[in-house]
Structure 1
Amino acid sequence: MKLIFSGVFLLFFLIQFNSFSQSSKATNPIIFADVPDLSMVRVGDTYYMSSTTMHMSPGVPIMKSKDLVNWEIVNYAYDILEDVDELNLENGKSDYGNGSWASCIRFHNETFYVSTFSGTTGKTYIYSTQDIEKGPWKKISFEPSYHDHNFFFDDDGRNYLIWGNGKLMIAELKDDLTGVKAGTEKVLIENASAPAGNNIGLGAEGSQLFKVNGKYYLFDITWPKGGMRTVVIHRADKITGPYEGRVGLQDKGVAQGGLIDTPDGKWFAYLFRDFGAVGRIPYWVPVTWEDGWPVLGVNGKVPEILNLPASKGVIPYIVNSDDFKRKKKETDLPLVWQWNHNPVNELWSVRERKGYLKLTTGRVDSHFLEARNSLTQRTFGPQCSGSTAIDVSNMKDGDIAGLGLLQKKYGLVGVKIENGEKKLVMINAQNDTPEEIESLPIDQETVYLKVECDFEEKKDVADFYYSFDGTNWKKIGNQLRMVYTLPHFMGYRFALFNYATKNAGGYVDFDYFHIKNQLTQNK
């Protein structure tokens, strides 16, 4: 009897120990939110990572970590990219899916550099600072816009750009980084997609170059037709080649990124995966070295569990609740917030009414995607909810304000003033044309709104709720089937908004925005 009991106890202990061991380790995805086009650098025991947020302002988020797992937004490379119609949402123009794309972060001679490029402006940008968390940033821009470029400082003091799609190019930069040296541009690799086969849909791009033990390693993403996104690696003894290539990883479509090492000698590849409506989410893959090549994954696969510390979650480091209460020396907006396109700073405030975000309309627009000063945060998986309370007593006829899910096929719940009467509305644009699914008359000044998103196993659905007391919630409208669309090229975002369809000058006050990592309502 004692032997049976001991055996059962041992089995229970092993199960519990194994469960504890796994829960105390990091799991993929590292961040279940839209953080694409990663670039990373380690300085001592601290990692810094930049990413793409395109038409959002401020732009090119800088994230910091001590363990490669728990990341916090600490800065942005710029407040606005440029003051042009597309980025300002003016004169019928927008910059959805454009703005600034894949950045590259470097550390050289005690200075941080972040480069990016823009199809909107046709320029390449290089930002530099000695204090990456506080700035200030120095800005350099020049033409043309070098697609998916990699910015590289070599050991001999020369600086390079590598860029392109399929055919990869290289050129030497001027010493002051203000452009490419004339006559240095040349083909680096004629067909960088070749290791993945001849039937290629997306040519090799997203180049990131690393120098390890005297050799150069170039990482790219390519996409064979009928296959999946694939990591291709090339290596050479000289930066200018010749390069030999091979497939580095082909599993789950996890691709595009590069190499990072830890202070104790471990190696990882940082990559991302397209995961439906939530966006492009980061995955880390362990790396070993064989015959001078980085070997990605465990038996060629992306592991679920990593030999890194467990994640503490994305709240409050990547997304966070906000009660809009500001002390005198605090910044107006925490770094988790970004505006949809460039904001009009005169039309918003968190100081005017203590404890509230005030959004004032400045012009007439026809729908949610045209609205300026929509304030956004990422949605995240596997499930999340966002809620707010809004004072609608100072809206004008034709105004619409509330809480939305921002993407081309958007959904929102809010208050609309129509012929002097307040209505609670749910609008669904999943069929590309905004449709008012349900409306209810209301007669109070404060309403409570909530949106819940389910990204588990790519369900990609959202439900919308309202409350008159903040406690008792009711569903409104229908379920939004969220779709990641290329015209926006971004995962869905929560958005606080207010826009006018008849007369400018009305305003609303948001009391708070609360975010949770679970669904809170019964379906």
Structure 2
Amino acid sequence: MSLEVQVKNPIIPLDYPDPDVIRVDHTYYMVSTTMHFMPGCEILRSYDLVNWEHAAFVYHKLDSTPAQRLEDGLNIYGKGMWAATIRYHKGKFYLVFATNDTRKTYLYTAEKVEGPWEKSEIKGFYHDSSLLFDDDDRVYLVYGNRDVRLVELESDLSKPKENGINRIIVSDRDNPNLGYEGAHFYKINKKYYLFLIRSLPDRWMRVEGCFVSDSLEGEFVGGDIFIDDRNYCGQGVAQGGIVDTPDGDWYAILFQDHGAVGRIPILLPIKWKDDFPVFGIDGKVPADFTTKSMRPDYIYQPLVGSDNFRTAYVNQYGLAPKWQFNHEPVKSDYRINHEQGYFEITTNKLVNNLLQAPNTLTQRMLFPNCAAEVTINAGQLNDGDITGFSAFQGAYGFVGITKDNGKYYLIMRTKPLDNLNMQSFDENQSVEVEWERFKIAEPIVTFRIEADLWEMKDEVRFLYQKNNQFIQVGPKHKVAFKLDHFTGCRFALFNYSTQEKGGSARFSQFEYYS
């Protein structure tokens, strides 16, 4: 089997933003932002930089705050963990990230990527940080937005070192759009390299920057080094890690916005000229290039896919790693029947909308289009319960079943976009709209969602099965990536109560189509 692997960008057509990547011997590891989803801080594994599979979740819960558990009307949508840095030093893995809900910086360490991961904190809040172990065993973080700072840490990484280096090394204060952030910091051939993301000042477009210095006390010189949208909707390619191969070749994994489906990893080659990195070829992500595989016969496990819920997984939540909950789940309120093949959610509180529904189970949507089906048994709902299948984002839509005065109804609802401004952190304030409702004789229905995500069309359709045919219910719905959730649209299974807690819904035969 050939060692060469053809690169097809995007290398992962899924929402894996803010990538950082390392190589340990003959294995590459990549970590990505998972925001509010649990389990969180997912690490992927590859042997060729092109094909990737799940390796580990670093945590199954963080601090179990009311917001992280969807309690008291609180949530952490668009918050949670952001932009982790992963490093391997003297036989140990290190992961550092900050969360915008607790305003803390977390340090996780492990001897194996599969864990167990030991949790601690670094005193302070370090946005988009990057960790560097220097040759003299001194350790540093680079972090920040607009003013990008370098801080030296104590040897145990617990806090800034007293009288250690603490200085601004790059500033982009006057940028009316996004100023420099997303640090990735390296020491290569005795020089210090800092990679950053920002927007062009004259228009919204992400670009990659690089600054270099001969010493940590010296001036960091550089600027924007890569401006390319791959001819895709004007969306720039930027922010991510760089890594070398055993043969000494270099690559970068950066992300590119793709609309509602999220921010997707892009691989590009790096050459070095006069000790400065040159990304891509002729300033572009090349359409045709190859990498080498260190295990050419390896079969990768898919990152998304179908599930009959009959396989028992030995992990904290008993589910395949392709699934994540919308927030920290309540384990006593869901169960998996492997013998009969279903996932069941039982409600334990009253909520008034989908976004506050605990134990909502999600999978990423696949670019450029995808579909999924699931069968829902709503026979154990109480009056006022709503269960269904959702295109899950701030402007969500769903098709499902509700019970009213002892009768079952098929419903389709959306929470329409209130505006298309991606840069808004504000929660979508639109009123949920019910487009269709009709009585059904039996509370067992197979539903389907189809998503068209090519060139940011970002439309989803909701369907139900009748007489072995799928029939659209309600209108097409527009979804969108915005900072209120800061994540790509997902398929989601949910059940919540509005009048009486204790109702149950069962989900089976989840089928994923690309």
TM (norm. structure 2) is 0.91
Work out the CA distance in 1 between the residues paired with 2:25 and 2:254.
22
Would the alpha carbon gap of residues 327 and 280 (structure 1) be closer, same or farther in structure 2, given more than 3 Å must change? closer
How far has the Cα of 1:352 moved from its partner? 7.7
Q: Is contact 1:33–1:279 with CA below 8 Å preserved after alignment? A: yes
Q: Is contact 2:409–2:440 with CA below 8 Å preserved after alignment? A: yes
Name the residue aligned to 1:225.
201
Once the two structures are superposed, the pairs formed by residues 52-201 of structure 1 within 5 Å of their partners are 52-133=33-114, 135-191=115-171, 193=172, 199-201=175-177
| Long gaps (5+) in structure 1 | 1-20, 518-523
How far has the Cα of 1:329 moved from its partner? 5.8
Name the residue aligned to 1:5.
none
SS in 2 for 1:139: strand
Work out the CA distance in 1 between the residues paired with 2:113 and 2:225.
32
SS in 2 for 1:136: coil
How far has the Cα of 1:69 moved from its partner? 0.8
Name the residue aligned to 1:494.
491
Q: Is contact 1:169–1:185 with CA below 8 Å preserved after alignment? A: no
Work out the CA distance in 1 between the residues paired with 2:278 and 2:507.
51
How far has the Cα of 1:353 moved from its partner? 6.4
Partner deviation per Cα, 1:354-377 (whole Å, 9 max, x = no partner):
311011011111011110100011
Does 1:306 find its partner at 2:251? no
Work out the CA distance in 1 between the residues paired with 2:219 and 2:498.
60
Once the two structures are superposed, the pairs formed by residues 401-440 of structure 1 within 5 Å of their partners are 401-431=387-417, 432-440=430-438
SS in 1 for 2:218: coil
Q: How many residues align?
A: 489
SS in 1 for 2:144: strand
Name the residue aligned to 1:18.
none
Work out the CA distance in 2 between the residues paired with 1:138 and 1:205.
27
Would the alpha carbon gap of residues 327 and 76 (structure 1) be closer, same or farther in structure 2, given more than 3 Å must change? closer
Name the residue aligned to 1:51.
32
How far has the Cα of 1:315 moved from its partner? 9.1
Name the residue aligned to 2:233.
none
Partner deviation per Cα, 1:473-495 (whole Å, 9 max, x = no partner):
11101101111111111110110
SS in 2 for 1:218: strand
Work out the CA distance in 2 between the residues paired with 1:170 and 1:497.
44
Partner deviation per Cα, 1:281-306 (whole Å, 9 max, x = no partner):
11111111111100011101122233
Work out the CA distance in 1 between the residues paired with 2:292 and 2:435.
46
User: Identity, % of aligned pairs?
Assistant: 39
Name the residue aligned to 1:234.
211
Name the residue aligned to 2:190.
214
How far has the Cα of 1:309 moved from its partner? 6.7
Paired residue type of 2:285: V
Work out the CA distance in 2 between the residues paired with 1:97 and 1:90.
16
Partner deviation per Cα, 1:13-67 (whole Å, 9 max, x = no partner):
xxxxxxxx9x972211111111001011001111000000110111110100011
Q: Is contact 1:235–1:244 with CA below 8 Å preserved after alignment? A: yes
Would the alpha carbon gap of residues 240 and 387 (structure 1) be closer, same or farther in structure 2, given more than 3 Å must change? farther
Partner deviation per Cα, 1:451-481 (whole Å, 9 max, x = no partner):
0101112211100100146x31111011011
Work out the CA distance in 2 between the residues paired with 1:50 and 1:59.
10
Out of 281, 288, 302, the residue aligned to residue 271 of structure 2 is: 288
Out of 422, 439, 442, the residue aligned to residue 441 of structure 1 is: 439
Would the alpha carbon gap of residues 276 and 418 (structure 1) be closer, same or farther in structure 2, given more than 3 Å must change? same
Once the two structures are superposed, the pairs formed by residues 464-483 of structure 1 within 5 Å of their partners are 464-468=462-466, 471-483=468-480
Report the more deviating stretch, 425-434 or 70-79: 425-434
SS in 2 for 1:277: helix
How far has the Cα of 1:512 moved from its partner? 2.4
Out of 252, 274, 290, the residue aligned to residue 269 of structure 1 is: 252
Name the residue aligned to 1:257.
240
Paired residue type of 2:133: F
How far has the Cα of 1:190 moved from its partner? 4.4
Partner deviation per Cα, 1:404-439 (whole Å, 9 max, x = no partner):
011110000100112221111111112422101011
Work out the CA distance in 1 between the residues paired with 2:5 and 2:23.
24
Paired residue type of 1:68: L
Paired residue type of 1:49: M
Higher Rg of the two aligned structures: 1
Q: Is contact 2:313–2:320 with CA below 8 Å preserved after alignment? A: no
Report the more deviating stretch, 348-357 or 495-504: 348-357
SS in 2 for 1:27: coil
Q: Is contact 1:286–1:296 with CA below 8 Å preserved after alignment? A: yes
Out of 356, 365, 368, the residue aligned to residue 382 of structure 1 is: 368
Name the residue aligned to 1:371.
357
Name the residue aligned to 2:262.
279
Name the residue aligned to 1:335.
321
Work out the CA distance in 2 between the residues paired with 1:269 and 1:352.
41
Paired residue type of 1:105: I
Paired residue type of 2:251: F
Work out the CA distance in 1 between the residues paired with 2:81 and 2:442.
42
Paired residue type of 1:257: G
| Long gaps (5+) in structure 2 | 230-235, 418-429
Paired residue type of 2:201: K
Partner deviation per Cα, 1:125-173 (whole Å, 9 max, x = no partner):
010111102x111111143221111111111101111111121111111
How far has the Cα of 1:379 moved from its partner? 0.5
Out of 190, 196, 204, the residue aligned to residue 180 of structure 2 is: 204
SS in 1 for 2:380: coil
Q: Is contact 2:45–2:54 with CA below 8 Å preserved after alignment? A: yes
Out of 12, 15, 26, the residue aligned to residue 34 of structure 1 is: 15
Name the residue aligned to 2:232.
none
Work out the CA distance in 2 between the residues paired with 1:338 and 1:502.
27
Q: Is contact 1:122–1:143 with CA below 8 Å preserved after alignment? A: no
Partner deviation per Cα, 1:50-91 (whole Å, 9 max, x = no partner):
000110111110100011011111111111111111111111
Name the residue aligned to 1:325.
310
SS in 1 for 2:366: coil
SS in 2 for 1:37: coil
Name the residue aligned to 1:14.
none
Work out the CA distance in 2 between the residues paired with 1:295 and 1:322.
43
Work out the CA distance in 1 between the residues paired with 2:505 and 2:365.
23
Would the alpha carbon gap of residues 199 and 112 (structure 1) be closer, same or farther in structure 2, given more than 3 Å must change? closer
Q: Is contact 2:54–2:301 with CA below 8 Å preserved after alignment? A: no
Would the alpha carbon gap of residues 327 and 88 (structure 1) be closer, same or farther in structure 2, given more than 3 Å must change? closer
Would the alpha carbon gap of residues 83 and 234 (structure 1) be closer, same or farther in structure 2, given more than 3 Å must change? same
Q: Is contact 1:326–1:350 with CA below 8 Å preserved after alignment? A: no
Would the alpha carbon gap of residues 263 and 34 (structure 1) be closer, same or farther in structure 2, given more than 3 Å must change? same
Work out the CA distance in 1 between the residues paired with 2:300 and 2:247.
28
Work out the CA distance in 1 between the residues paired with 2:119 and 2:302.
27
Does 1:457 find its partner at 2:443? no
**Structure in which a larger fraction of residues adopt helix:** 1
Paired residue type of 1:456: W
